[in-house]
Amino acid sequence: MRTRSEKYDALGNRHRKSYKQGEQIMALKKYDCLLFDIGGVLAELCSAPKLLEWMGNRVSYEEMRILWTHSDAVRNYEKGLITSEDFAKRVVEELQFNISAERLLEEFVLFIKCLYPGVPELLKDLEKEYVTATLSNTNELHWDRLCNEFGFDKIIKRNILSFRIGLMKPDPEIYRYAISKLSCEPSRILFFDDNRINVEAARNAGIDAIQVSGFADVKQKLFEIGIIEKHE
């Protein structure tokens, strides 16, 4: 039986390889850039239980998610339009949280729990063959934690962040901005996000996009596409 690499050779297609313990990058160069969301894709979040608690468990998870993502305070903060202190005061009032603004800030920063195991190693290997970048709706507190606690800005250096550019997914303009910054044809970009609406918006911009649920799912999709190969 042919190996995957042998099959590619027989088809006359060029493939590239780089090796690391346990995994192997190998793909037809269909893509030049791999673009990732951060929260829920590269970094584990622990926000839902706290948000439900702050709302006094008076709403369902889905209702809470909608209220949070459509909150004016949240959106203005993640666009970089207000300070952390203003955000805390406004969101406590807007969503009627049973917590002080000061306490909210203390706990909100910890919504970024950690990087998923294996993220630094895989991104380092991917960067040998691809442009790697992030496209994230985030804020200064979470970004500072990612960099100061986990060295994220050393792991991946191209980061398109909502609070820095004043744009948020799924606004079509943020995808046009990303395409321009990455200097890639849209069809040569593969984007991973855990939000279906963001994935659909990326596709509308001409970007290949896949909805994932956590880093294990990212690796599985990369394997299915042929970008990485796992050793059994």
Q: What is the pLDDT along the chain (232 residues), one digit of tens a residue?
A: 233 433 333 323 334 444 344 444 444 579 999 999 999 999 999 999 999 999 999 999 999 999 999 999 999 999 999 999 999 999 999 999 999 999 999 999 999 999 999 999 999 999 999 999 999 999 999 999 999 999 999 999 999 999 999 999 999 999 999 999 999 999 999 999 999 999 999 999 999 999 999 999 999 999 999 999 873 3
Q: Are residues 39 and 126 in the same domain?
A: yes
Q: Are residues 37 and 51 in the same domain?
A: no
* pTM of the predicted structure, to 2 decimals: 0.86
Question: Cβ distance 176 to 205 under 8 Å?
Answer: yes
What pLDDT score was predicted for residue 4?
Answer: 40
Q: Residue 18 pairs with which residues in a beta bridge?
A: 25
Which tokens belong to 64?
A: 């809470």
Q: Which among 73, 93, 111 is the end of a domain?
A: 111
What pLDDT score was predicted for residue 182?
Answer: 97
Q: pLDDT tens, 103-121? A: 999 999 999 999 999 999 9
Indicate which CATH number applies to the domain containing 185. Answer: 3.40.50.1000
Q: Are residues 14 and 106 in the same domain?
A: no
Q: Which of 1, 70, 35 shows the shortest CA–CA distance to 188?
A: 35
The boundaries of the domain holding residue 85 are 45-111
Q: Dump strand ranges (E) for 14-130.
A: 15-20, 23-28, 33-36, 43-45, 112-115
Q: Tally the domains of the chain.
A: 2
69: which residues sit within 8 A by CB, 6+ positions away?
A: none
Q: Are residues 175 and 214 in the same domain?
A: yes
User: What letter represents residue 160's amino acid?
Assistant: I
What pLDDT score was predicted for residue 23?
Answer: 46
Q: Are residues 30 and 80 in the same domain?
A: no
Q: Which among 54, 81, 111 is the end of a domain?
A: 111
What pLDDT score was predicted for residue 128?
Answer: 94
Indicate which CATH number applies to the domain containing 71. Answer: 1.10.150
Q: Are residues 189 and 77 in the same domain?
A: no
